[in-house]
Chain A
Amino acid sequence: MHVCTTARTRIWERSPARSDVDYVGKPVPLSNMSDSNSMDPRPDYDDAIARWFLIATAVWGAVGMLVGVIIALQLAWWPANTGLSWLSFGRLRPLHTNAVIFAFAGNAIFTGVYYSTQRLCRRRMYSDTMSKIHFYGWQLIIVLAAITLPLGLTQGKEYAELIWPIDVLIAVVWLVFGANFFGTVIKRKTNHLYVALWFYMATIITITVLHVFNNLAIPSSLTQSYPIYSGLTDALVQWWYGHNAVAFFLTTPFLGLMYYFLPKAAERPVFSYRLSIIHFWSLIFLYIWAGPHHLLYSALPDWAQSVGMAFSLMLIAPSWGGMLNGLLTLRGAWDRVRTDPILKMFVVGITFYGMSTFEGPMMSIRAVNSLSHFTDWTIAHVHSGALGWVGMTTFAMMYYLVPRLWDRPLFSQKAAETHFWMATIGLLLYVVALWTAGITQGLMWRGVNPDGSLAYDFMATVVRLIPFYWIRVLGGALYLGGTLVMIWNFVKTATSTAPPLSAGSEEALA
Chain B
Amino acid sequence: MSENQESFHSRVIERRAGLMAVLTTICILIGGIVEIIPMYTVGAAHIVETPPYTPLQVAGRDIYVREGCYNCHSQMVRPMRSDVLRYGGQWSRAAEYQHDRPFQLGSRRLGPDLARVGGRWSNSWHYRHMEDPRAMTPDSIMPAYAWLLRRKIRPNAVKASLRALRTAGEPYDDGTINNSAMLLEAEGQMIVDDLAGSGITTTWDTEVVALIAYLQRLGTDIGAITAAEEREAANE
Contacts and interface: CB of A to CB of B under 8 A. Distances in A.
A94 B68 contact: yes
Given A193-B15, A234-B101, A454-B82, A205 B36 contact: no
B36 A91 contact: no
B24 A205 contact: yes
Contact of A81 (B1, B3, B144): B144
A83 to B, nearest CB: 6
A296 to B, nearest CB: 8
Interface residues of B, number: 87
A156 B71 CA distance: 9
Contacts of A18: none
Interface string A145-161: 00000001111111000
Contacts of A301: 39, 43
A221 interface: yes
Interface string A206-236: 1001000100011111001111111111111
B82 A228 contact: no
A234 B66 contact: no
Nearest to B97: A231
Given A221-B160, A224-B62, A374-B107, A93 B68 contact: yes
B17 A185 contact: yes
A284 B78 contact: no
Interface in B145-172: 145-147, 157, 160-161, 163-165, 167-170
A368 interface: no
Interface in B1-59: 1, 3, 6-7, 9-10, 14-15, 17-18, 20-21, 24-25, 27-32, 34-36, 39-40, 43-44
A237 B28 CA distance: 14
B235 to A, nearest CB: 21
Given A89-B72, A224-B62, A227-B102, A240 B43 contact: no
A231 to B, nearest CB: 3
Contacts of B120: none
Contacts of B10: 29, 32, 192, 273
Contact of A459 (B79, B139, B168): B139
Q: Is the interface of A mostly helix, strand, loop or mixed?
A: helix
Contact of A297 (B80, B81, B85): B80
Task: Choose among A89, A370, A448 the residue with the greatest number of B CB atoms under 10 Å from its CB.
Answer: A89
B26 to A, nearest CB: 9
Contacts of A89: 68, 71-72, 143
Interface in A327-375: 370, 373-375
A2 interface: no
A291 B33 CA distance: 12
Nearest to A289: B31
B92 interface: yes
A458 interface: yes
Given A85-B147, A90-B71, A274-B1, A281 B27 contact: yes
B140 interface: yes
Given A26-B3, A378-B107, A448 B81 contact: yes
Q: Is the interface on chain A under 10, 10 to 19, 20 to 34, or 35 or more residues?
A: 35 or more
Interface in A424-476: 445-448, 453-454, 458-459, 462-463, 466
Given A230-B100, A459-B139, A288 B24 contact: no
B229 interface: no
Nearest to B41: A233
A231 B69 CA distance: 17
A498 interface: no
B137 interface: yes
A415 interface: no
A232 B103 contact: yes
A182 to B, nearest CB: 7
Interface stretch (B108-116, B121-129, B178-186, B190-198): B108-116
B141 interface: yes
A298 B115 CA distance: 12
A503 interface: no
Contact of B21 (A93, A201, A375, A466): A201
Interface in A115-159: 152-158
B93 interface: yes
B105 A152 contact: no
A192 B35 CA distance: 35
A222 B6 CA distance: 55
Nearest to A295: B105
B108 A156 contact: no
A217 to B, nearest CB: 8
Contacts of A308: 35
Interface string A78-92: 100101010011110
A21 interface: no
A445 B102 contact: no
B137 A459 contact: yes
B102 A273 contact: no
A192 B15 contact: yes
Nearest to A85: B147
The 5 closest A-B pairs by CB, nearest first: A90-B68, A231-B97, A288-B31, A220-B164, A289-B31
Given A220-B163, A286-B31, 15 more contacts: A32-B10, A32-B14, A75-B141, A89-B72, A90-B68, A226-B101, A230-B170, A285-B27, A288-B30, A289-B31, A289-B35, A291-B35, A298-B105, A370-B80, A374-B74
Interface of A: 26, 29, 32, 74-75, 78, 81, 83, 85, 88-91, 93-94, 152-158, 182, 185-186, 188, 191-193, 198, 201-202, 205-206, 209, 213, 217-221, 224-238, 240, 273-274, 277, 281, 284-289, 291-292, 294-295, 297-301, 304, 307-308, 311, 370, 373-375, 378-379, 445-448, 453-454, 458-459, 462-463, 466
19 contacts: A85-B145, A91-B67, A152-B68, A156-B66, A182-B21, A202-B28, A213-B32, A217-B168, A218-B164, A224-B62, A233-B39, A240-B35, A273-B1, A287-B31, A299-B92, A307-B35, A374-B74, A378-B108, A447-B82
